[in-house]
A and B are shown apart, each in its own frame.
Chain A
Amino acid sequence: MSLLELKQVGYQVGDTPILRGIDLNVDAGEWVTISGPSGSGKSTLVRIIASLLSHTSGTLRFAGKAIEDYDPIAYRRRVSYSFQQPTLFGETVYDNLAFPYQIRQLPFDRQRAVAALEYVGLTANDLDKAVIDLSGGQRQRVALLRNVMIYPEVLILDEVTAGLDAENKAFVWSMVRHFNQDDGITVIAITHDQAEITAAQRLVTLVNGRIVPGGAQ
């Protein structure tokens, strides 16, 4: 049984189909790369998987149960979605790293936060740093840390390296590799980056709301 099972998943707005007949299985611990031209439905697909949108046809199962049988909040804590050009909350880095604990009413794990910050090249002092003083690369790193402060089972990345320079891009991908290989988090990543597409373990290509035959390897 795969962790995620999509069968004939479709999504349409009014009469306009955005996604059609998506069949996709993702196993636990896998890294799936999704590519395709703009407007092909990639973001819609991953937002459906993240339960930020509901599919209008077909079935989506997670860990053997239909997505509709999960409480959406509990589900999103297990299947975490990270946005392209993320918005950081509040005023400081702390506000962002503490958010996952606050919403679960758990005490903030400062030690873990400091270790995470050091891992991404920041320091304990940066916890109090104002988010407006962070560079683009630092913002993306903090945003990604926010998704994994409490480990999800699936991490969905929606073009998280778009707009970053080569160095930051490489760093973000090395972070994701670490989450995937060392922590066993399943990764579903949308990318336009040709190097990433070429290096993908498993590539799914979407065109006009459909998975291109042969694209899903």
Chain B
Amino acid sequence: MNLAVNNQSLMLELGLVMIALAIGWHEKLGIDRDMVIGVVRAVIQLFIVGYLLKSVFRVNNGWLTGTLILIIIFNAGYNAKQRSNGIPHALPISVGAILISTAVTLGVLMLAGAIAFIPSQMIPIAGMIASNSMVAIGLCYRNLNAQFKQERQAVLEKLALGADLKDASREIVRDSIKTGMQPTIDSAKTMGIVSLPGMMSGLIFAGVDPVRAIKYQIMVIFMLTSATSIGSVLACYGAYREFYNERKQLVGPSN
């Protein structure tokens, strides 16, 4: 059987969204508008990116590839910053953490010969790394804010005993790094048992031998573990000092 996803089949598959809309409408979930906007945005964005990638792959220029990766990293950093709930300097901290986590992970993959510096490999992989790092950093920020609020008294007491900022924040930073990495670890634990993840499914779907596909997936697990751990560590250690002022007094979280 010749399988193909074409415009006509996509139109028919739109029926699946209609089912979701019908459920939302019937259950009065009040998310019909968000769902329509989400689906329309996804379609438009993916079409734009599809055509953009097509031309970038055709041009195959190192500078252009590098620029696109930097744009991806900046966007990821900006989105992570949105989760910071007012932590000062969250944008440079996020962009820096994602830049380093992406660069280290891509560097190791290239050195290992798993990928080459060509746009069709670098851009999708950079996107996967940056987006996972972004989610991890967002979780770190949320946890930092929650923990500094919840543990305010303990932090104050540690400061009052003469602890430096690192000692006063140690448990909070540790807990936040764990929170950032947890989804990646959980997903790694259940991989193949609960989920057949995107990249592997896509390869199998496109006719690649499953044994070959899992090797790619294993590479993805390795790179995402590295990216989320580096991103979480850098973001947490970069951000925790922002909860204190120059006199080493606890001032945050802001709300």
Contact = CB atoms under 8 A, between A and B. Distances in A.
B249 interface: yes
Interface string A43-86: 00000001111100000000000001000111011001111001
Given A52-B156, A86-B157, A103-B167, A80 B162 contact: yes
Contacts of B163: 73, 99, 103
Contacts of B158: 89, 99, 103
Given A87-B153, A89-B154, A76 B249 contact: no
Nearest to A150: B162
Nearest to A86: B157
Q: Interface extent on A, as a size class?
A: 20 to 34
A146 B161 contact: yes
Contacts of B159: 52, 76
B150 to A, nearest CB: 11
A147 B247 contact: no
A119 to B, nearest CB: 19
Contact of B160 (A52, A68, A104): A52
Contact of B247 (A54, A100, A103): A54
A72 B156 contact: no
A201 interface: no
Contact of B156 (A54, A77, A83, A100): A83
A74 B164 CA distance: 9
A51 B164 contact: no
A82 B248 contact: no
Contact of A76 (B154, B162, B250): B162
Contacts of A83: 153, 156-157, 160
Contacts of B161: 76-77, 80, 99-100, 103, 146-147
Interface string B154-176: 10111111111001000000000
A87 B156 CA distance: 10
A10 B21 CA distance: 61
A50 B158 CA distance: 12
A83 B249 CA distance: 16
Interface size class of B (residues with CB under 8 A): 10 to 19
Interface in A102-136: 102-104
B29 to A, nearest CB: 42
Nearest to A54: B247
B157 A77 contact: no
B159 to A, nearest CB: 6
B249 A103 contact: no
A146 B156 CA distance: 14
Q: A74, A82, A83, A103 — which one has the most chain B CB atoms within 10 A of its CB? A: A103
B249 A51 contact: yes
A9 to B, nearest CB: 15
Contacts of B153: 83, 87
Contacts of A99: 158, 161, 163
B157 A100 contact: no
A54 B157 contact: no
A74 B247 CA distance: 12
B77 to A, nearest CB: 31
Interface in B21-63: none
A76 B162 CA distance: 5
10 contacts: A51-B247, A52-B250, A54-B245, A76-B159, A80-B160, A83-B156, A87-B157, A99-B163, A103-B161, A103-B167
The 4 A-B residue pairs with the shortest CB-CB distance, nearest first, are A77-B162, A81-B160, A72-B248, A76-B162
Given A54-B245, A103-B164, 15 more contacts: A54-B247, A68-B247, A72-B247, A76-B161, A76-B162, A77-B162, A80-B160, A80-B161, A82-B160, A83-B153, A99-B158, A100-B161, A103-B158, A103-B161, A147-B161
